Homo-oligomer: A and B are copies of this chain.
């Protein structure tokens, strides 16, 4: 038998021999029952030590590919039917359970991609760049240049980079990166390997203390023993859903709401019931019939600077919501992802601050205020549900990275948080104002919005007949992106007349230019429709 051997710097010879034979067996070129050459003979053929061949055979035997019979030699064993197919061959059929997965309705495939990867620093394949490429393919209407379209805005010819108004996060330039780097160093010096060992499931105790103090300073009394550190606020949603909900259970959400929550609930086969919203948040007045009809196991709500609408739940409604949740025995999950980013008006108390005990699970995160890539968020809960959520965290991923928790604890003090918060609010308020001004100046009159008092987003209602999905393609050709409304609605389809703009992640100049481009896309869309009509 001739086996190609690389004698200079390759793998050990016995390994090369075994690899070659294994390949032959798996591919079927060495058939079951075949007797392999005697070790002495093959050693002579290959010019290697006999022990080398014996070692190779022993390896194959340990893998169950060959068997040696005493005094009779070494034989190829019958392979599995499947292993006779070349591994990775596209012709190899997936097992049945995988084929079923393939047929199953995928949960939304794009909702979070943009939220997460838009503007991400990595130049490598991100969701956003995939999406850009996918949508960059000239559409059917492209290149036909509706009469009157300006040359500078001609399809595909936009010289400037895409202005991303689709993102779901704040401005990375506010991230205190140098401070944080120093804290990482300090923590590794101070704590040594302890910083890299497992920590408490519910999170590093001093960080839980800091969080409790920050919450209290913002008007939400909290104790460290009611705080659980998670991998961002998304994980709070996942843990609560895993603990309290079973497939088929109903969950009430605002319509529209955060797409990442909708995707989670769909993944878990829940029945998602949307309740309408207006400029003052969830229409709590219309909630009761849904509670009576659907017997939901959870109400998920974003009372402050809602995603995507930017609205803030009215104080009366807050109290009524807690009252209804109590009467119908439904847990409330309060997602306060940007509750502190307030630019106007008065602070509303968190639902959790109105909770007489154990009615509300409060979720928040450092992702929007500090650094999304840390993946550190937290929940606040009291009553038996707290310990169950800790267990849930434990079976999901044991604990959140100890090192990052310690560095965050070293960095975040109440004072520093307040300073950072003030700076962020100042900057974002200006940007919000720039966006509102640009909208008034550059968008068609039929566009409607409620100016947000805080948060990251402006939510637009389009003029009749305009579809945000179709508009997105046109807007990208103009060099601007946004989050189309569809992804925020439980039904998916209601969102055609809406879109979400992020004003926090871009400079005022970019915002103005981006809205201008959006206006251009809208006018082209209107002209095309008028032209067709």
Contacts and interface: CB of A to CB of B under 8 A. Distances in A.
A79 B315 CA distance: 12
A452 B371 CA distance: 44
B398 A375 contact: yes
Nearest to A373: B402
B402 A346 contact: no
Nearest to A67: B316
Contacts of A494: none
A263 B121 contact: no
B117 A200 contact: yes
B397 A234 contact: yes
Nearest to A99: B384
B356 A92 contact: yes
Contacts of A58: 346
A357 B85 contact: yes
A120 interface: yes
Interface string A384-404: 110110011011111111111
Contacts of A124: 200, 205-206
Contacts of A358: 92, 94-95, 98
A65 B392 contact: no
Given A267-B391, A315-B63, A326-B95, A172 B196 contact: yes
Interface string A285-324: 0000000000001000000000000000011111100110
A319 B175 contact: no
A161 interface: no
A276 interface: no
A141 interface: no
Given A198-B116, A199-B122, A246-B247, A357 B87 contact: yes
Contacts of A235: 396-397
Contact of A193 (B59, B175, B193): B175
A253 interface: no
Contact of A63 (B102, B204, B232, B348): B348
A8 interface: no
A396 B238 contact: yes
Given A97-B331, A267-B395, A196 B221 contact: no
B94 A398 contact: no
A384 B101 contact: yes
Interface stretch (A31-39, A68-76, A176-184, A475-483): A176-184
B398 A192 contact: no
A131 interface: no
Given A97-B330, A98-B383, A172 B201 contact: no
A94 to B, nearest CB: 4
Contacts of A260: 394-395, 398
A364 to B, nearest CB: 15
A80 B87 CA distance: 65
Interface string A230-243: 11101100100011
A95 B382 CA distance: 11
A119 interface: yes
A446 interface: no
Contact of A82 (B113, B230, B356): B356
Given A64-B314, A346-B62, A391-B106, A192 B121 contact: yes
A408 to B, nearest CB: 11
A96 interface: yes
A206 B124 CA distance: 9
Contact of A59 (B104, B269, B346): B346
Contact of A194 (B121, B198, B234, B387): B121
A201 B231 CA distance: 13
Interface string A102-124: 10101101001100110111101
In order of increasing CB-CB distance, the 8 nearest A-B pairs are A121-B194, A64-B315, A82-B356, A373-B402, A231-B397, A102-B384, A196-B371, A64-B316
28 contacts: A59-B347, A63-B348, A64-B316, A79-B319, A80-B326, A81-B323, A82-B359, A83-B354, A88-B357, A97-B244, A97-B331, A101-B385, A116-B198, A116-B199, A116-B399, A120-B200, A122-B200, A126-B200, A127-B201, A169-B198, A181-B189, A193-B371, A232-B397, A235-B397, A247-B247, A260-B395, A260-B398, A401-B404
Given A62-B348, A81-B323, 17 more contacts: A58-B346, A61-B315, A63-B318, A82-B356, A88-B382, A106-B388, A116-B398, A120-B194, A121-B197, A175-B193, A175-B196, A181-B188, A197-B373, A232-B398, A238-B395, A374-B401, A375-B399
